Chains A and B, each alone.
Chain A
């Protein structure tokens, strides 16, 4: 099983950012969460690895199940931080601004988390060098992140997430800070990863980028799912709202 989400909702103060969201994703699919800014897609993505916690609903991901209740003394417990850690080791995340640790070299960025979690250093190094080679960054292993271009930093961030061999990989606007030529490198990497069978969820507002990677699409507006389906929806949208969004 991949990911199943039931009736998730979330408010910040009086503002409800997600309203009763339900969807499911099968293993190995690349799902794009599409929508304009403020639609709630990043919040939704961050819930999938519990960086945000929902007010209500259930979440099944990577063979773990979570139920959320806000302000209710029910028998069901909120996820503990230990469970959250366990989940995040199976659900990797790539951020819009890369979030590399600036005081560590590229190689150190890659091996830090796996070594902490029990991988032996030589093994971690070997794996890191393999991933860097796959990303075309072998010569950057000992460079500082700040000396790399945006596209290179993004590839390091993807390699870092892959170090833990996650079952699911989440991307939050991975191309928003990159110029169009570099965007195609990210497309190639995502398509290559899809061939390797990893489940991916990608948040973006760029239709062209979405078309190139998606096997499924979920279109959100104002915290609600307006349309969802296979990639064919890009050519045959079923709602006016999604059709309008695709045109601009």
Chain B
């Protein structure tokens, strides 16, 4: 294997990591808000959140990236607006698509975890004079979050791997450098094997980190 490709590929690693981290955090914040909307049954907003979930879990991530990157440019109204400097950047568009996609899946996951919290947890809150909101925010969500962590760990890894699609809208992430190197050398097998191994290593590290966190926050269920 030709090791001189490695430094070239690693130039894209920073972008991949940054894109993954920012998308995940944005997606997480959105998912928590969406979950609260669904759990408190805020009427008009519930409808919007359900639509968002339908659209972003029902279509391929690649199409979402394309539409967010190429779509707004078709409208002069958007091109003249203050958000255009953001929406014209491939990095921001890829981040937005990944965040919205992750938010949709995470919301389903969090809502499922909340619904799986036993009725007895709610009943104890009610019996101690908590309001519905206090119960949800202080007891039910923290319990559900712990239960949701193993599944959310998978979501983290999916977003990390999904970020490779950002290279299709000119972003030079790990995959972007791999594609360019391939076009320059035609050494397809070596270039993509090395890129794949780097992704594999990142997945390995993330898996270990998630295991470690699970070990801490799920300590209560091991006794």
Residues of A within 8 A of B (CB): 49, 51, 81-82, 84-89, 92-93, 95, 97, 99-104, 112-113, 116-117, 143-147, 160-161, 164
Contact = CB atoms under 8 A, between A and B. Distances in A.
Nearest 8 Cβ contacts at the A-B interface: A89-B129, A147-B223, A113-B128, A88-B129, A99-B124, A93-B127, A99-B120, A144-B220
Interface string B179-223: 000000000000000000000000000000000000000011101
Interface residues of B, number: 22
Contacts of A101: 121, 124, 139, 143
Give the interface SS of chain B, mostly helix, strand, loop or mixed. helix
B158 to A, nearest CB: 26
Contacts of A102: 143, 220-221
B131 interface: yes
Nearest to B220: A144
B128 A164 contact: yes
Contacts of B132: 81
B130 A99 contact: no
B120 A103 contact: no
Interface of B: 120-121, 123-132, 134, 138-139, 142-143, 146, 219-221, 223
A88 B131 CA distance: 10
Given A103-B143, A147-B223, A51 B126 contact: yes
Contacts of B124: 95, 99-101
Given A102-B221, A103-B142, A95 B120 contact: yes
A175 B120 CA distance: 17
A143 B220 CA distance: 9
Contact of B129 (A100, A113, A144): A113
A167 to B, nearest CB: 13
Contacts of B146: 103
14 contacts: A51-B123, A81-B132, A84-B126, A88-B126, A95-B123, A99-B124, A100-B124, A101-B124, A104-B220, A112-B128, A116-B138, A144-B220, A146-B221, A146-B223
